[in-house]
Chains A and B, each alone.
Chain A
Amino acid sequence: MATIREAERHCGALFAAGEIPGFIHLSDGQEAVSVGVMAALRTDDTIASTHRGHGHALAKGLGLDGFFRELMGKADGACKGRGGSMHVADLSVGMLGANGIVGGGVAIALGSGLAQKLRGGDGLAVSFFGDGALAEGIIHEAFNIAKLKHVPILFVCENNGWSEFSPTSTQVSFTLEKLAAAYGIAWFGIDGSDVERVAQCAADIVARIRIERGPVVLECSTTRIRGHYEGDSQRYRNDPAPPVDPLAIARARLLDHGTAPAAIETIESTVNAIVNAAVDAARLSAEPSLQSALDDVYAQAGAAR
């Protein structure tokens, strides 16, 4: 969680300084979901993420070097500088990509879950999506199919209350709990800011999916600390309460359990150092060539499998 927060802090600063181009959507406030869910997964389990996918990617195992180089559009980025923030991916660790389309990863995760089932092991897929995606038709298609076809998939809704620039209460007429019930899918709703709670719940659910081979919905209440995108003035926003910070909760919990403050500071300084090193290395990386991009418009024979 500290690594994700520190990475996001650097992303915000690098974006403001013009070193990260394009649009970025920071996941500050949602770290506990990424870390808690991913703690229950293996490398061969797959995830499909969202436009707010930095935390998912890092928690699933994408390296910081490939991450920052990608966000800065460099030749040796995770995606050779062609995808950027909204498409960070590392198939070698089962991270099937952030996604620029709201709901765009849901059916990919569903297909990946079906692949896990057809392959015969006990692997599963996880589909991350936000509450804004509940208004997309693909959620309904995917729930129906997942249930009908017994697809081993965990649907994780990160409910931060915002559908881009609008309160989700003005966008969605139903609750996810009732939606899941309509499809006959088990639903669990938890405080997504409590990493221990997320990790425990995810571990239980994942263990169940590995055996029962079917879908489960996990709804995590979270806070979007930053705007929809970096640079968002958030004039539309008038939150009644201060943001809930999962890192502050985790820190207090650790101190309660007797962890020495110095140990936490060591974690923070270590994380700061490795993130700084990744950023410095990314700055030195080369720009990609147009020819190398052209070469990958189509996969060459032998690329599959």
Chain B
Amino acid sequence: MSEARFAHAINRSLDHAMAHDAKVVLLGEDIANAGGSFAVTRGLLDKYGPDRVIDMPIAENAIAGMAVGLAVGGFRPVIEIMFMDFMTLTMDALVNQAAKLHFMFGGQGAVPMVVRTQHGGGLNAGPQHSQCLEAWFAHVPGLKVVVPATLDDAYALLQSAIADPNPVIFVENKALYPMKGVLSDAPPAVPLGEARIARAGRDVTIVSYGAMVHKVMAAAQTLADDGIEAEVIDLRTVQPWDEACVLASLARTHRLVVAHEAVEAFGVGAEIVARMAQIGFDELDGPIMRVGGAFMPVPFGRTLEIDYMPGPAQVIAAVHGTYG
């Protein structure tokens, strides 16, 4: 057990996977010599060599498509797409090829590939370097989507993603990279699709994932000071998401808020809310509330972006909203 940063947890997880499986190869822009634009892959080139840590030209579509060919060819490629905004350039390879191959070839083969990519605002990176687009991928049958919030989870979920026989979109909130925390020497395994109860509480369930979990936890502390005990669920995996965990919590608290940094409209929260309205309707004592980004591109300016980003205040307001 040691103190580390979020980026280190991912680096160590990649290192562990590469040390234990020679079929794990990394491809991406500036990941080898430069060690990654956020230094997540630093040191891996020296350790595993240029045949396993492969610098690629700026060609996201080809990188993603090549990962499909590598995966079908017996490798376990982990590609890095430097910003989630650039995932727009990978869509054919991921949506039409990777997601469908196993299904449309009648169960032949598998596509064990991981796409590591970075979402999230807060760095004044502007409209094309800040978006949270995970809902797009969660909408595609055949893809899995993971968004870790803690160091141990980032480590363990990446292990599970690499071991999974399906294409997994592994989303890292870039604002979390410098976050310090405790990283276990051997973080416990976390299967994809299993949520974590980050805080137990009896009064309201707040479902979140990724960096937003930390803002929700801050909100929960404030709410506790006012006598409202929130149960905070960190989904960890967005597709498939842990419906049973959310429903069980709702059955305890009878109030539900879903919070994410991504734009609220047509987001991950919409799916969770729709399912709970259907299968958890009898448990509800108040309206379900959502918290998410306003329906606008992520703005650049310092105060503009601060005003844009959903935070604890919005979560607290939403919790009060569940009381009608």
In the assembled complex, the CB of A293 is this many whole angstroms from the nearest CB of chain B, namely 7
Q: How far is the CB of B189 from chain A (nearest CB, A)?
A: 13
Given A46-B73, A112-B72, A114-B70: A298 in contact with B64 (beta carbons within 8 A)? no
| Contact partners of B25 in chain A: CB under 8 A | 118
Give CA–CA (A298, B98) in the complex, Å. Answer: 11
Q: Which positions 85-118 of chain B face chain A at CB distance < 8 Å?
A: 92-93, 96-97, 101-112
A111 touches B104 (CB 8 A): no
Contact of B66 among A111, A119, A300 (CB under 8 A): A111
Please measure, in the bound complex, the distance between the C-alpha atom of A92 and the C-alpha atom of B23, giving whole angstroms: 20
Nearest Cβ on chain B to A246's Cβ, whole angstroms: 29
Contact of B165 among A101, A115, A301 (CB under 8 A): A301
A144 within 8 A of B: yes
Chain A residues 41-94 with CB under 8 Å of chain B are: 46, 48, 70, 77-83, 87, 89-92
Q: If A112-B73, A115-B69, A138-B61 touch, does A298 touch B102 (CB 8 Å cutoff)?
A: yes
Which residues of chain A in 262-305 are interfacial with respect to chain B, using CB atoms and an 8 Å cutoff?
293, 296-305
Task: Check if A107 sits within 8 Å of B65, measured CB to CB.
Answer: yes
- Decide yes or no: A83 and B105 within 8 Å by CB, A111-B73, A304-B71, A305-B74 being known contacts: yes
Q: Is A304 a contact of B65 with CB atoms below 8 Å?
A: no
Q: Tell me if A176 is interfacial: C-beta within 8 Å of chain B.
A: no
Flag whether A113 is at the interface (Cβ < 8 A).
yes
Expressed in whole angstroms, the minimum distance between the Cβ of B212 and any Cβ of chain A is 26
Q: A111-B66, A145-B57 are in contact. Are A302 and B103 (CB under 8 A)?
A: no
User: Which residues of the partner chain B approach A152 to less than 8 Å between Cβ atoms?
Assistant: none
Is A297's CB under 8 angstroms from B142's CB? yes
Q: Is B104 touching A110 in the complex (CB atoms < 8 A)?
A: no
Inter-subunit contact B103/A296 (CB<8 Å) = yes
A91 in complex: contacting residue of B104, B108, B141, B163, CB < 8 Å: B108
Contact A293/B103 with A91-B109, A104-B92, A112-B72 known, Cβ cut-off 8 Å: yes
Interface hub of A87, A90, A111 (most chain B Cβ within 10 A): A111
CA distance A81 to B103 in the complex (A): 10
- A-side contacts of B273, CB under 8 Å: none
Residues of B within 8 A of A (CB): 23, 25, 51, 54, 56-57, 59, 61-62, 64-77, 92-93, 96-97, 101-112, 141-142, 144, 163-166
- Can you give 9 A-B contacts (C-beta < 8 A)? A46-B69, A48-B69, A91-B72, A110-B69, A111-B66, A115-B70, A118-B51, A148-B57, A304-B74
